[in-house]
Amino acid sequence: MILQRLPKLAAAIPESLAEMLEEEIILGRLKSEERLTEEFVAERYGVSRSPVREALRLLERDGLVIREARRGIWVAPMSQRDFDEVYTCRIALEGLVARQAAESNDTERKKEFRGLLVELKEAQARNDARQFFAVDVRGSALVYDLAANRTLTRLLQGLEKQALRYRFHAYEQDPKIVKLSLDDTARIYDAITAGDGDSAQAMTEKLIREIWQSMREKVRDYFGQ
């Protein structure tokens, strides 16, 4: 029998499912408060309910869906309050991870920041939000790798997904909000590359706080408190 299934996909259906659903939620194709029945998801992706249940547990962990016992699962609602919660946590943790990344002496991997910045600029020039965010996420992943703090990474990956929902929405409404952050991002990458933990942390905290403030009002207007 000739192999027909991709080994990697077969290796972790729940994780793959979770990734696909994540993307759909972040990009807004699955709307807030939309019901997600297990059978619907199972049928849609051609698998049984078992891996779906596990995938939904993963999404619950990352705050993308909410679950009520014996009642079901819904795409997590968006609100200013939720937004505030995510961002207050992010300020603290992203600052920490930037510091720890700067303290790494893996100069090889730090060089990757250069290429990422080029890609970010290209994506921005093309006004390609999806691409921009995809590269941005890879940048975060690199920072997390450099920090080499698995616990911190675990916490942040969850927050990042929630944050991306808001950021993507904001970008669609007003693309220039992204430009705001590009220069600062470049400076942060420089500080990390240079090994300057103090300013990497301070600039990261400042950047995220600014993004938070700049989006806050629109989030309230759009999603309510």
Partner DNA sequence: GACTTGTATGCTGTATACAATATGGTGTCG
Partner DNA sequence: CGACACCATATTGTATACAGCATACAAGTC
Q: Give the one entry of its own copies, DNA, none that residue 72 binds, where binding means its C-beta sits below a cut-off of 5 to 8 angstroms depending on kind.
A: DNA
Copy the structure tokens of residue 52: 């779906």
The total number of residues written for the chain in this structure = 225
By CB under 8 A, name the one of 159, 178, 191, 207 that touches its own copies. 159
Q: Which string of DSSP letters, residue by residue, matches 53-98?
A: HHHHHHHHHTTSEEEETTTEEEEPP--HHHHHHHHHHHHHHHHHHH
5-13, 29-37, 165-173, 186-194 -> range binding its own copies (CB under 8 A):
5-13
Residues at the contact surface with DNA, assessed by CB under 7 A:
7, 10-14, 36-39, 47-51, 53-54, 67, 69-73
Query: Residue count at the site for its own copies (CB under 8 A)?
Result: 34
* CA atoms lying within 13 Å on the CB side of residue 165: 30
Give the one entry of DNA, its own copies, none that residue 220 binds, where binding means its C-beta sits below a cut-off of 5 to 8 angstroms depending on kind: none
- Cα–Cα distance measured from residue 198 to residue 164, given in angstroms and rounded to the nearest whole number: 26
d(CA 154, CA 49) in angstroms, rounded, equals: 26
| Contacting residue, 1, 2, 3, 69, with its own copies by CB under 8 A | 69
As to burial, measured by CB atoms within 10 angstroms (0-12 exposed, 13-18 middle, 19+ buried), residue 177 is middle
58 near its own copies (CB under 8 A)? yes
Find which of its own copies, DNA, none residue 96 binds, CB within 5 to 8 Å per kind.
its own copies
Q: Give the residues lining the site for its own copies (CB under 8 A).
A: 7-8, 10-12, 50, 53-54, 57-58, 61, 63, 68-70, 82, 85-86, 88-89, 92-93, 95-96, 100, 149-152, 154-155, 158-159, 162
